[in-house]
Structure 1
Amino acid sequence: MKNVDYIIVGDGYAALFFAHQLTRNKKSFVIFSEGRKSASQISAGIVNPVVLKKFTTFWLAQEQLDFLKTSLDEIEEYTGVNYLIKASIHRIFHDENEQKSWLKKSQSEELEGFLDKNFEHLEVVKNDFNTGIVKQSARLNVQGFFNDLLTFHQTNSRLISEKFNYHELNVAESTYHDYRFKNIVFCEGMGVKNNPYFSDIPVIPNKGHHIRVKLSQPIPENLTIKKKHFLFPLNNGMYFYGGTYDREQLHEHIDESAIEQLRNGLSEFYPLDFDIEEVHFGFRPTVKDRRPIVGRHPVHADLYVFNGLGARGILNGCYFSKSLYDHIENNKDLPKEISLERFPNKKDA
């Protein structure tokens, strides 16, 4: 029987950022990875402190940005790579009213650190009313982040490439297969609905599609363009464009209506020809109050959940991984805004 401090179930942002907390604190652990690409692994990787529909920000935005940069610097120490791509978001204005709204909000104390007062005009794309630049915005190199970190954990004999089987978990003995653990953290995204211990947490699937396209003329580099969706270059001459949000069409295949929505959205500001080369989709685990769900099982004290990261998986996963670690190891209270305990009757939440 092998003794480990932690078993992590899942391989998305929640799992890998929590694994980083364990790595830097020299805890022993294994990660159970099913090997299917999670919603995290096909995400855009946008790091963005602004809600770009309303030009507002959100809870702990600056703290989350700062903590992400620190964490990625720490991760660089053992992978040799920093996965933060400094590519600012340029939000295309729909009309003059949006320009005025942006400018007004950029002078507020809450948003002056995020909204640039100076507008910019881009070549190639249609932006008659210019673009607003989101300060401190960036992207994560998603493919590099997951490939390198999963390889790092595999090299260190921490990655178990198989589906976790709940029936083989002995909660009374704190064992699973040939592992004796102190704690298990379930970071399963929408897979949590099959978890007998946490299936009632109120996460709502939100299906997102994105397309990978070839543009007939390249757009300016080192930036991310946003109108309805995000457009930015990938490493292989293609561009990422997406993603959609859909709480209704939740079947496990591509929706033609989503592709049409993306084709039309891109055509609005990219007036030249483009070819759709690939279509991808995944299911984001979202929560009504837009806060993650983190906490200990009400009966089994060594079982924990870290879920509901929504569309801000990078920032939420990174920042609140420390909150969960401190809760388990140092008995610190979780912020009530993210605590599992805010849902006394979870199915009714």
Structure 2
Amino acid sequence: MQNVDYIIVGDGYAALFFAHQLILNNKSFVIFSEGKKSASQISAGIINPVVLKKFTTFWKAQEQIDFLHKTLNEISLYTQENYLIEAPIHRIFHDENEQKLWLNKSNKEELTDFLDQNFTKIEGVKNNFKSGKVNQSARLNVKHFFDGMKHFLIQQNKWIQERFNYHQLDNQENKYREFSFKHIVFCEGMGVKFNPFFAELPVQPNKGHHIRIKLSETLDSNITIKKKHFLFPLDDELYFYGGTYDRDQIHENIDESAVKQLENGLSEFYENEFETKEVHFGFRPTVKDRRPLIGRHSLHENLYVFNGLGARGILNGCFFSKILFDFIDKNYPLTEEIQLNRFQ
């Protein structure tokens, strides 16, 4: 029997950022990964403190940005890689009214550090009304992050590539097969719907597609372009363009209408030829108030959940991983905004 402090179930942003908290605090643990590509692993990796539809910000945005930088620096010490791509978002304006709205919002205290007041012209795309730069925005190198963390955890004998079997959990004796544990943290995204302990959580799937494309004329690799969706270069001479949001068409197939929406959206500002090479989709676990679901099971005190990260998986996963660890290990209280019972 192997004794561990924690079992983590899942392999997305919630799981890996929580694993980092355990590494920092010298806790023993194993991760169970089903091995499928999660929504986290096909995400754009956008790090963005601004809602770019209405030019607003969100709860604890600056705290989350600051904590992410600290965390990625810590992770780089043991993976030997920096996963942050300093490529700020440039939001293409649709018209003069958007320019004026941006300037107006940039004078508000909560947005002054995020909305740059100097507009720029992006070469190679149609942006007649220029673009606004989002200060403190960046990207995570998603593929390298997941590959690097997985490689490190395999080396440390903490990664188990198999599906967690709920029926083999002996919760009275705190045992799961050959493991004796203190706590289990379920970080399963939409997989939570198959979890007998947390299946009733109000997590809704939001289906997102993105396309990987070959551009006939390359663009500035030091920025992330945003109009309706995000456009930026990948490692393999392709570009990422996405992603869509769909709460209705949640079947396990590509939606051709979503692909068409993306191709039309790109054509609006990229007027050269391009070719769609790949289509990817995933299901973001979302909550109606856009705040994660974190906490302890009402009956089983050693079972916890970390879910509902939504479209801001990187920021939410990173920031709230410490909140959850402090709740479990140090008995710090959780704020009402993220407690599991807030919808009851």
**TM-score, normalized by the shorter chain, greater than 0.5:** yes
**In structure 1, C-alpha distance between the alignment counterparts of 2:172 and 2:164, rounded to whole Å:** 18
AA aligned to 1:123 is E
1:102 matches 2:107: no
Structure 2 portions without partners, runs of 5+: none
Which residue does the alignment assign to 2:200?
200
Structure 1 portions without partners, runs of 5+: 345-349
Which residue does the alignment assign to 1:189?
189
- Identity rate of aligned residues, in percent? 68
Q: Could you say what secondary structure the match of 2:49 adopts?
A: coil
> What is the CA RMSD across the aligned residues, in angstroms?
0.5
8 Å CA contact retained: 1:295, 1:341: no
Aligned residues between the structures = 344
Which residue does the alignment assign to 2:246?
246
**In structure 2, C-alpha distance between the alignment counterparts of 1:341 and 1:29, rounded to whole Å:** 27
AA aligned to 2:222 is N
Counting only pairs closer than 5 Å after superposition, residues 299-318 of structure 1 correspond to structure 2 as 299-318=299-318
My pick for the range that moved more, 44-53 or 103-112, is: 103-112
**In structure 1, C-alpha distance between the alignment counterparts of 2:81 and 2:154, rounded to whole Å:** 17
Shift of 1:341: 2.4
Shift of 1:290: 0.5
Counting only pairs closer than 5 Å after superposition, residues 1-349 of structure 1 correspond to structure 2 as 1-344=1-344
**In structure 2, C-alpha distance between the alignment counterparts of 1:221 and 1:202, rounded to whole Å:** 39
8 Å CA contact retained: 1:190, 1:284: yes
8 Å CA contact retained: 1:126, 1:271: yes
**In structure 2, C-alpha distance between the alignment counterparts of 1:138 and 1:155, rounded to whole Å:** 29
Shift of 1:242: 0.1
Shift of 1:288: 0.4
Deviation track 1:154-207 (CA, whole Å, cap 9, x = no partner) reads: 110000000000000011111001000000000000000000000000000000
AA aligned to 2:175 is T
**In structure 2, C-alpha distance between the alignment counterparts of 1:44 and 1:166, rounded to whole Å:** 31
My pick for the range that moved more, 102-111 or 261-270, is: 102-111
8 Å CA contact retained: 1:296, 1:302: yes
AA aligned to 2:310 is G
Q: Which runs of 4+ in 1 moved over 6 A?
A: none
**In structure 2, C-alpha distance between the alignment counterparts of 1:115 and 1:148, rounded to whole Å:** 32
Q: Could you say what secondary structure the match of 2:173 adopts?
A: coil
**In structure 2, C-alpha distance between the alignment counterparts of 1:67 and 1:108, rounded to whole Å:** 23
Q: Could you say what secondary structure the match of 1:160 adopts?
A: strand
Shift of 1:113: 0.2
Shift of 1:336: 1.1
AA aligned to 1:319 is F
TM-score, length-normalised on structure 2? 1.00
**In structure 2, C-alpha distance between the alignment counterparts of 1:340 and 1:325, rounded to whole Å:** 16
Shift of 1:25: 0.4
Which residue does the alignment assign to 1:347?
none
Deviation track 1:292-325 (CA, whole Å, cap 9, x = no partner) reads: 0000000000000000000000000000000000
